Structure 1
Amino acid sequence: MEPDPRFTLANERTFLTWLSTALALSAGGVAMAALPSDVFVPWIRTTLAVVLVALSALAAGMAYPRWRHIQRALRAQAPLPPPALAAVFGYGVALVAVIALVLVILAA
């Protein structure tokens, strides 16, 4: 059975949002890596950049499988799968933000 087009389109918007989130995380990682060497300790700056880019790759890599699983559940009128990686992204970005904030405060 075909799901209501509104649900299919909402699922597609969510997929595109995961891709835009991946792009933003990637840009944040590149920006962190591009900071001058006197901003933050170099190994911490590199670590934060790697975490952001890794989260970006994870978001981009999981966007389509998540879209596909939700689309299958919609067609089967089954429960939607839980957002398994939401905690990873939430805590990952929060960790980078807190570390960067602490470093900014200590540098002031």
Structure 2
Amino acid sequence: MTHPQTRWPKWVYVPSEDEPDYRFSFANERTFLAWIRTSLALLAAAVALDVVDLALADLVRKLLAGLLVGSGLFCSIIAWTRWAVSERAIRRQEPLPPFGIAIILSIGLLAAGSIVIVTVVTS
């Protein structure tokens, strides 16, 4: 078994006699991977905007692609940060932290969807 001080990042893995139930760490890892999949999907959607010929103005298309790329990058940052903070809480037997930062991603996606709807309705 790996000693906690040799793991990275050290601030996540606190020295302890007891390891948490591995199922909690695996569940946390699955959540991380779900966020990474979401990030990849957002990046793929941004690329698709460039490849697929849509009836969108060039400026609108670039704005949407930028929103999607930004959301995808933000999502990957959320994924790692959320994994680390949650893993640390699990190991310290503390309550899991709140997840208020997801509202930023939700607003970005709401903006992208609104742009598409307004563009389609007005054209």
Q: Under a length normalisation based on structure 1, what TM-score does the superposition of the two structures give?
A: 0.88
Pairing of 1:27-42 with structure 2 (within 5 A): 27-36=44-53, 39-42=55-58
1:83 aligns with: 99
Give the alignment's Cα RMSD to 1 decimal. 1.5
Q: Deviations over 1:53-98 (max 9, x none)?
A: 0110111123122211110100101121111321011111111112
Stretches of structure 1 lacking an aligned partner (at least 5 in a row): none
**Distance of 1:84 and 1:31 partners within structure 2:** 29
1:13 aligns with: 30
Stretches of structure 2 lacking an aligned partner (at least 5 in a row): 1-17
Per-residue deviation, 1:35: 3.8
2:64 aligns with: 48
**Distance of 1:84 and 1:2 partners within structure 2:** 28
Identify the match of residue 26 of structure 1 among 34, 43, 57.
Answer: 43
Per-residue deviation, 1:5: 2.0
Match of 2:55, SS state, is coil
Match of 1:39, SS state, is coil
**Distance of 1:74 and 1:85 partners within structure 2:** 20
Higher gyration radius (CA)? 2
Give the number of aligned pairs: 106
Identify the match of residue 67 of structure 1 among 83, 103, 107.
Answer: 83
**Distance of 2:120 and 2:24 partners within structure 1:** 43
1:103 aligns with 2:115: no
Higher helix residue share? 1
